[in-house]
Chain A
C-alpha cells in the first residue's frame, strides 16, 4: 500500500488547482477557460478522495461522484453557451462580450 505522506498528496492536488487557476487567469480563449475550470473541479475532487482514503470512509468518494455530476452539467451548459457566443460574435475571445460596458 502507498506510504506517501498526506502532505505530499494534498500538495499534488493543490498544484493541479493552481495550474487550473493560472490557465483561467491567463487564457482569453473561452474554451481553454472552461478547460481550466475542469482541471480545478478535478483537483477539488482529488482532495476529497485523498481524505476518504486517509480515513477509510466512503463519504469522500461519494462527494467526488457528486462533483462529477456537477461538472458534467456545468460543461454541457457551458459548451452550449460557447456555441451561442460563437454564433453571435464569430470569435472565441472572452473579452468580446463587453457590450454591457459601452
Chain B
C-alpha cells in the first residue's frame, strides 16, 4: 500500500509541475486532471473513499469542465506566441528561490514533529451523519455561498450593452 501512495504522490507532483509550466492551456488542464486523479487515489488509500469520489466528481468533473468551457469560449491558441514572450526562464528564478526557502523551513519545522500514521477508514455514512447533525449550519451557509456564486457569475458573465449618450456618438 505504501508503494501505491508514493507512486500516486510522485505522479501528482510531476503532473502539477507540468500543468503549471505548460504553455498550452488545454494541455495544462489535462495535466491538472491527472494530478487530481492521483490525489484522489491518495485519498482512497488514506481511508476516505467518499472524499476520493467527491474529488473526481466535483474537481476533475465539474470545475475542470468549467475551465475548459471558458478556454473554448475565449478561443485561445493564438496566444501561444504571447505566452512564450511572457514565460522567460528568468521569470522563474526569484519565485523558485522563495519556494525552496519555504520548503527548507518547512522540512526544518517537520523535524520536531513525529506522529505515526494510523489509518482509520471513515465510511460515507459517518460523514453524512456528521454533516447533517453537527455541521448543519455551515452546510446551509455554504448553500447560501453557492447561491451567491451563481448569481454573481450570472451577473458578471452577461455581455452588457454599452449605452452612450446621443450627443457623444461620433458620426
Contacts and interface: CB of A to CB of B under 8 A. Distances in A.
A and B bind: yes
Interface of A: 1-7, 9-12, 14-16, 18-23, 25-29, 31-32, 34-36, 38-39, 42, 46, 49-50, 52-56, 58-59, 61-62, 64-66, 68-77, 79-84, 86-87, 91-93
A3 B148 CA distance: 42
Given A5-B116, A58-B127, A76 B16 contact: no
Contacts of B29: 35
Chain A contact residues: helix, strand, loop or mixed: helix
A54 B110 contact: no
Interface of B: 1-2, 5-6, 9, 12-13, 16-17, 19-21, 25, 28-29, 32, 35-36, 39, 42-43, 45-48, 50-51, 54, 58-59, 62-63, 66-67, 70-71, 73-74, 76, 79, 82-83, 86-87, 91-92, 95-96, 98-99, 102-103, 106-107, 110, 113-122, 126-127, 130-131, 135, 138, 142, 145-146, 148-150, 152-157, 159
B59 A68 contact: yes
Given A22-B99, A70-B145, A58 B130 contact: yes
A70 B142 CA distance: 7
Contacts of A42: 36, 39, 59
Given A3-B2, A22-B96, A52 B20 contact: no
A43 B91 CA distance: 24
B73 to A, nearest CB: 7
A49 B58 contact: no
Contacts, number: 222
B95 to A, nearest CB: 4
Contacts of B159: 87
B86 A6 contact: no
B54 A83 contact: no
A20 B142 CA distance: 25
A20 to B, nearest CB: 7
Which 9 A-B pairs rank lowest in CB-CB distance, beginning with the nearest? A73-B149, A56-B120, A23-B20, A80-B156, A1-B119, A25-B95, A76-B153, A80-B157, A58-B130
A68 B1 CA distance: 27
